[in-house]
Amino acid sequence: MADGAGMAAETERMIERDGAKEPESAASGGETRKEMRVVLLTGFGGLNKLRVAKKAMPEPQEGEVKIRVKACGLNFLDLMVRQGNIDNPPKTPLVPGFECSGIVEAMGENTQGFEIGDRVMAFVNYSAWAEVVCTPLDFVYKIPDDMTFIEAAAFSMNFVAAYMMLFEVAALREGMSVLVHSAGGGVGQAVAQLCSTVSNVTVFGTASPFKHEAIKDSVTHLFDRNIDYVPEVKKISPEGVDIVLDCLCGENTGKGLGLLKPLGTYILYGSSNMVTGETKSFFSFAKSWWQVEKVNPIKLYEENKVMAGFSLLNLLFKQGGCKPVRSAVEKLFSLYNQKKIKPLVDSLWALEEVKEAMQRIHDRGNIGKLILDVEKPPTPLVTVTLYSFKVK
Amino acid sequence: MADGAGMAAETERMIERDGAKEPESAASGGETRKEMRVVLLTGFGGLNKLRVAKKAMPEPQEGEVKIRVKACGLNFLDLMVRQGNIDNPPKTPLVPGFECSGIVEAMGENTQGFEIGDRVMAFVNYSAWAEVVCTPLDFVYKIPDDMTFIEAAAFSMNFVAAYMMLFEVAALREGMSVLVHSAGGGVGQAVAQLCSTVSNVTVFGTASPFKHEAIKDSVTHLFDRNIDYVPEVKKISPEGVDIVLDCLCGENTGKGLGLLKPLGTYILYGSSNMVTGETKSFFSFAKSWWQVEKVNPIKLYEENKVMAGFSLLNLLFKQGGCKPVRSAVEKLFSLYNQKKIKPLVDSLWALEEVKEAMQRIHDRGNIGKLILDVEKPPTPLVTVTLYSFKVK
């Protein structure tokens, strides 16, 4: 924390940009450059393991699309990767990042459906935080004309995860209620917006008190994340809620299952409790992991409850789930075009500012999504107080 | 088994009856009778605890409907009740049975929506196996004109459970695959029929070999229930299945979860493995119960899987779930009227034959639903070999 405090200085940043009008210099000349800038993770651990470096530019293999990256998404998961707090972590050095947006610059063989110049968003199995990315076309999606690159990078993981959890894993319908933790985060805001596309849905959210003013209109009932939300929810809805989305894990699984109405669905979609300090702490990791209460299927039978887990990256990269994901993306783009949803962007950061960005997400300072803006020069830091920080 | 073998003799029985043409004697004279015939369970244990007895006829309380019963459903659950193999068993003596059909004979106060003479099916929290039943109007449904009382009694629990599991807990859609155990049983046949209402659904079923000929057209792939179905399913569908419905419990939970595709749903809806012998055996009960593998939510997260439990009776009688159940009943009646579904009745039994009926379900001899036909006189037993037994 002492280490991070200085870096967590806040800056006021422009978050609006017309993605369609890109400077020509970025797209042209790409063919002759053989190196690119990337964010490099040199080993698992603290922020000091991150730096910007030059790396050989990749060329697309068969079935791959080469993308000139404009913007990348930064997720809580990236902090866990940095600390090595994931199953089977890859070898370092590595380039982190799982999502980006940009312009198609080249295609490998057998890549129907894309043309050079297409504006796209993409999932990448690591290596998104770079000027150029190559990824299989199964993970690439043309974005709507009105969607900026910043929006697209803020859109992919958060909205797809929120959509699939609400509508594929659970079956959100009129009149239902949803509890979401970290309501001010990227997924939390996507959940809130998607709930508002269904009539008469009640959203219960938890968030740090300083975020309440900024997000209060997106959530029906907001609770301080530092208090026990169970009695608060029960005061308002004694019979419980229909869907619980839990990114916290640990003691929350039992609490979440306990809050469900009959036929309700609890979904574990992350485990942000696991990141507790600057460096990997095996103890804190193991504690979270093993404290997870195992669940007896017969309890679910007696109580008519559903328990689910959702990991978008496993679905995409380990389990061959591109088809349902593409279907979700298409439905989401339709909602975007109808102006029913719009990604909430917290702040933009240059590649060189990745440490400050990570510290901000670690400190739960963000409201909406943090974006690495690949063409943005580092901004001289201007400190503002957290409590006066407001989006738009 | 030795005890049950004699009783398990099979008889050929008429299963067709026009429910609309009831003998007048049954409906008339009801007002003056103060006693009724019931099946009485005198204590938990073997078949010898069951007998037909006279009991005072109930009168409807406020909000209740009094039904002159025509037919009752017999379920595997009734065997578990008989053995006391359920949580918090009620006190004996008791009248078993959770579902029946018949004619409305009287209403208590505040019972809008029903009239004397209405043809209905009903859920009852015990006491269905009687000539007269009183139950809250929340659990009573007017049946379609074309539906016989026999069909209605065969319909209620099995089709409602199958529908809610397939369409409410899971979300069965075009092109999906479903694994159902005991495919020849009441729920199994309801599942198979409901799957056929959605295009291109593959049904994997397990059943005793002698049932295969009778049910082979309702199921895409049939396996012998005595072999390990996991490699058989994987041979046909290496990626697994979308929905596993498990009424067996125990070692099957892990096997069922293991067979799921990503985003697939495992539903535990019963625990018929728990009934292992003639009398309650605490050891066999405890063995099944404790051998159930508890599941770590993080495993579901990593594998993108859903684990659910479904108990229709708990939903109705403990958890206030009449509203979603009524909604399911309405959708099912619509499918029935479109002739897309039709309950498969195994055999009809007089109240006095309840022991033979129970033995048949215990021995897994049934194909479809066993019905207690309240007006049926006991039939002299005619032994036929099991293997030549055929419905219709």
Asked if the Cβ–Cβ distance from A307 to B295 is below 8 Å, we say: yes
What does pLDDT average to over chain A? Answer: 85
Cα→Cα distances B278→A160, B3, B48, B93, B349, Å = 53, 8, 10, 19, 20
- Quote the tokens at residue B312: 């229709």
Q: Which residue of A has its CA nearest to B264?
A: A169
- Please report the pLDDT score of residue B39 as a whole number: 98
pLDDT tens, per residue, chain B with 392 residues: 333 333 333 322 323 333 333 333 444 444 555 899 999 999 999 999 999 999 999 999 999 999 999 999 999 889 989 988 777 789 999 999 999 999 999 999 999 999 999 999 999 999 999 999 999 999 999 999 999 999 999 999 999 999 999 999 999 999 999 999 989 888 999 999 999 999 999 999 999 999 999 999 999 999 998 899 999 999 999 999 999 999 865 567 888 999 999 999 999 997 555 444 444 444 444 445 555 678 888 889 989 999 999 999 999 999 999 999 999 999 999 999 999 999 999 999 999 999 999 999 888 888 999 999 999 888 765 544 444 333 33
CA–CA distance, B372 with B376 (Å, rounded to integer): 8
Percentage, residues of chain A above pLDDT 90? 69
Question: Rounded to an integer, what is the distance from CA B107 to the centroid of its chain?
Answer: 27
pLDDT tens track for A21-67: 333 344 444 445 589 999 999 999 999 999 999 999 999 999 999 99
Contact A132, A69 (CB under 8 A): yes
- Please report the pLDDT score of residue A286 as a whole number: 45
- Please report the pLDDT score of residue B271 as a whole number: 57
Give yes or no for residue A319 having a pLDDT over 80.
yes
Could you tell me how many CB contacts below 8 A there are between chain A and chain B?
139
Cis peptide before A93 (omega within 30 of 0): yes
Give yes or no for residue A280 having a pLDDT over 60.
no
Looking at residue B5, its amino acid is A
Which one of B169, B293, B301 has the shortest CB-CB distance to A269?
B301
- Which ranges constitute the DSSP H helices of B164-281? 186-195, 212-215, 229-236, 251-259
Give yes or no for residue A282 having a pLDDT over 50.
no
- Please report the pLDDT score of residue A380 as a whole number: 61
**A85-99, A244-258, A340-354, B197-211: range with lowest mean pLDDT:** A244-258
CA–CA distance, A208 with A194 (Å, rounded to integer): 21
- Please report the pLDDT score of residue A80 as a whole number: 87
pLDDT tens track for A171-184: 999 999 999 998 98
Report chain A residues whose CB lies below 8 A from the CB of B249.
297-298
Report chain A residues whose CB lies below 8 A from the CB of B315.
262-263, 304
Q: Which of A173, A273, A304, A331 to mutate to test the interface with B (most CBs of B within 10 A)?
A: A304
- Please report the pLDDT score of residue A167 as a whole number: 96
The closest of B389, B390, B370 to B9, measured between CA atoms, is B389
Q: Which residue of A has its CA nearest to B324?
A: A263
- Please report the pLDDT score of residue B93 as a whole number: 97
Question: What number is the average pLDDT over the span A341-360?
Answer: 95
- Quote the tokens at residue A365: 């300072």
Reduced to 3 states, what is the DSSP secondary structure of residue B85? Answer: coil
Question: How many Cβ atoms sit within 10 Å of the Cβ of residue B362?
Answer: 22
Report chain B residues whose CB lies below 8 A from the CB of A297.
249, 253, 268, 292-295, 307, 309
- Please report the pLDDT score of residue B383 as a whole number: 47
- Please report the pLDDT score of residue B12 as a whole number: 28
Asked if the Cβ–Cβ distance from B295 to A310 is below 8 Å, we say: no
Interhelix angle A252-259/A229-236, nearest 10 degrees: 10
Asked if the Cβ–Cβ distance from B304 to A309 is below 8 Å, we say: yes
- Please report the pLDDT score of residue B24 as a whole number: 39
Asked if the Cβ–Cβ distance from A304 to B309 is below 8 Å, we say: yes
Indicate the pTM of the whole model. 0.85
pLDDT tens track for A212-251: 999 999 999 999 988 999 999 999 999 999 999 998 655 6
- Please report the pLDDT score of residue B17 as a whole number: 33
The closest of A331, A296, A9 to A163, measured between CA atoms, is A331
